[in-house]
Amino acid sequence: MSLGKVQVNNLNLGQGDIQGVERHFLFVGRAGNASEESQLFSVGAQTVLADTFADSPLLEIVKAAQLNAGQNWTAAVYPLAEGESITDAIDRANEVQSFEMVVVCDEQTTSSGLTDIHDHLTSLQATLGRFVSALVAVPGIDVATQTWSQYEAATIALQADIAAHLVVPVPQLHANNVGVLAGRLCNRSVSIADSPMRVATGSVLGLGDAPVDTNGDPLSLATLETLANARMSVPQWYSDFEGTYWSDAQTLDAAGGDYQYLEHLRPVHKASREVRVLAIRRIANRALNSTPNSIELNKAYFMRPLRAMSKSTTILGTQFPGEIQPPVEGDITIEWTSNKSVVIYMVLRPYNSPKEITVNILLDLSSN
């Protein structure tokens, strides 16, 4: 008889947290000084940006983002050298860190500039498995030559016929608009499923000087509505209500697309990042097999990120909803297409968000 033996193994079941990249943005723009060029700078809420970067549009945009993002903000900044491409900068930055979004601070003046950024971000999904979208600066008005009607026509033409659901174009009407929006999206007092239009988030901070056209006419809500209808993300205000707020963050998705609004895209990207990690841990793991018991266990396994995203809180009768609605029976299906290939379908449901409110007031004279 052989000698008795005991072996104890510590098994890793992959039950820990998955570190997210939500609200961690990459800012890319022309450097203000040669000493900054082609480097990746990590910045945060406590960073004195003026001591780190020379005066430039890039600095002003990052300062606006820092101001609007509030507590615990983190980001990375990549100042471009002359002739260095935005796509090369994105690739180099992604060798060091991961990002939820890229903020392109140099104004893109052509349709191809917008589509090139979208195409490159799409390629990151294939090469690195990273789900990244972009806020892209587009030109504000040229006060020396353009009236508001001419500017509207030029801006509408810039985005015409483009289908690019990973790109949110932001006109630089106040010179730092894309930074203000980036900070608002990073603010941790709201969720990634909230629209920047949300008035309860508060008035935007640090928006640049109000623009005028070549005739000296100020920016109007009529112009902002025209731009918003052309899929531009712009500030707005309400008559007899103090403060300046924001419109929707609209992507350049095609008509009828599911991802026309950033508050729908961001939760889907978050779920995609986390489910991808869970799927990697199941590669060649016979815990995922075609038996009914395994399929039910793995439905619960893959739905973990969605259940976490759906957690709501109620305080004093006021509900603060989760990022998505709680999953229900039938929201996940696992199908084996062969003895080594499995396909999983999952459903994510956002909450409705009121952006147009109509109030009808009736007079009751029946008691008179």
- Give pLDDT tens digits for 182-228: 999 999 999 999 999 999 999 999 999 999 999 999 999 999 999 99
- Provide the percentage of residues in the chain whose pLDDT is more than 70: 99
Contact 324, 349 (CB under 8 A): yes
Identity of residue 333: T
pLDDT at 1: 65
pLDDT at 177: 98
Residues of the chain with pLDDT under 50: none
- 38 phi-psi bin (left φ>0, alpha ψ -120 to 50, beta other): left
Q: Return d(Cα 251, Cα 117) in angstroms, integer.
A: 13
Identity of residue 121: L
Contact 94, 127 (CB under 8 A): no
Q: Is the dihedral of CA 137, 232, 310, 321 positive or negative?
A: positive
pLDDT at 317: 85
Question: Tokens for 221?
Answer: 């809500």
Contact 29, 58 (CB under 8 A): yes
Question: Tokens for 204?
Answer: 């935007």
pLDDT at 47: 97
According to DSSP, residue 367 is labeled T
| Each residue's pLDDT tens digit, 306-330 | 999 999 988 888 888 999 999 999 9
pLDDT at 229: 97
- What the chain holds in terms of domains, given with CATH numbers, is 25-265 (3.40.50), 305-368 (no CATH)
**How much is the pTM?**
0.95
Q: Return d(Cα 232, Cα 182) in angstroms, integer.
A: 14
pLDDT at 2: 83
Q: Give the count of alpha carbons within 13 A of 45, CB side only.
A: 11
pLDDT at 368: 62
The DSSP code sequence of 109-172 is -SHHHHHHHHHHHHHHHHHH----EEEEEE----TTT--HHHHHHHHHHHHTT--BTTEEEEE-
